[in-house]
Amino acid sequence: MLRFVGQRLLTLIPTLFAVLTLAFVLVRIVPGDPALIILGDQATPEAIAKFHEQTGLSKPIWQQYLAFLTQLIQGDLGVSMISNRPVLTSVLEVLPYTLELSLAGVFVGVALGVPLGVVAARSNGGWVDWFVRIFTLGGLSFPAFVSAVLMLLVFSVMLGWFPVIASGKPITDPWGRFMSLALPATNLGFVMMAYVARVTRGGMMNVLRSDYIRTARAKGVPASRIVWKHALRNVLLAVVTFTGLYFSVLIGNSVLTEIVFNRPGLGKLVIGALERRDYTLLQGLVVAYAVLVVVVNALTDLCYRFVDPRVKA
């Protein structure tokens, strides 16, 4: 097992390397000199030269790249061009909020989607199946910001159940933190639920046709036990795969959710960095996002091994 984990982690290295290079290139192909954008059109040549000196932009590109990599290996993402704060500090400050939101979103999505899919598969063409089908089609059709705005309007403004400005509460206020998380997480989960329900339904239909289910049925195992115990275990594999693949969509949706609910997080940081043209912060955020997705993909693979002992290598 340890060997498998080790091997999987080793395969991460080339991917991460490529991602880091892309982040480096991406930020440098931006048209325009960041010095002019930050210092303004009126900047004197001396000021521009000084800025280039400070940010390392005066060095040849390969030296910049080497410096970027050596800094990264030491866990240093550089300092913000605008505020001079270390980028890593800014990222780590808000990362817990984004992680918390994403995980809660996955939880809501799976907790609602799986039962919905199972019920639909059991109904198979009946009216429950139709209802789930239409319901999930609706779920698939909501861009995350539309559902977020409508949820905010209904549950916070009209009904007043949740705070209108759900900005992150400190951990010392667990109830406040939960209340400010509930609506944004439901928003992420609502869209995900639709996909999970469909994956579960499709998987369930396939599994229910297999021989071991027929055997179980022949033995007289009650139908609900067959579905919820024997079949569901196999379907969950598909759900795990899907969750891994979906994670990058979920992260994208979390950007929109953070904006609407005014939550701190990576998404808000990206928008802020873009508005202020803070390229070093942007570069650090691109790295953070890519690392997040790559790590989650690796975790999904590891998850397989735990859910299904048959998966080897």
Position 77 contacts other proteins (CB under 8 A):
no
Check the CA dihedral 12-14-18-21 and report its sign: positive
Q: How far is the CB of 309 from other proteins (least distance, A)?
A: 26
Instruction: Kindly tell me which residue out of 157, 165, 302, 311 binds other proteins, with binding defined by CB under 8 A.
Output: 157
Q: Which of residues 271-300 bind other proteins (CB under 8 A)?
A: 271, 274, 282, 286, 289-290, 293-294, 297
Position 36 contacts other proteins (CB under 8 A):
no
Instruction: Kindly tell me which residue out of 77, 87, 110, 251 binds other proteins, with binding defined by CB under 8 A.
Output: 251
Position 25 contacts other proteins (CB under 8 A):
no
Position 256 contacts other proteins (CB under 8 A):
yes
Position 165 contacts other proteins (CB under 8 A):
no
Q: How far is the CB of 266 from other proteins (least distance, A)?
A: 9
Interface with other proteins by CB under 8 A: which range of 21-29, 69-77, 109-117, 305-313? 21-29
* List of residues contacting other proteins (CB under 8 A): 15, 18-19, 22, 26, 29-31, 122-127, 129-130, 133, 137-138, 140-146, 149-150, 152-153, 157, 164, 202, 205, 208, 213, 217, 223, 226-227, 248-249, 251-253, 255-256, 259-260, 270-271, 274, 282, 286, 289-290, 293-294, 297
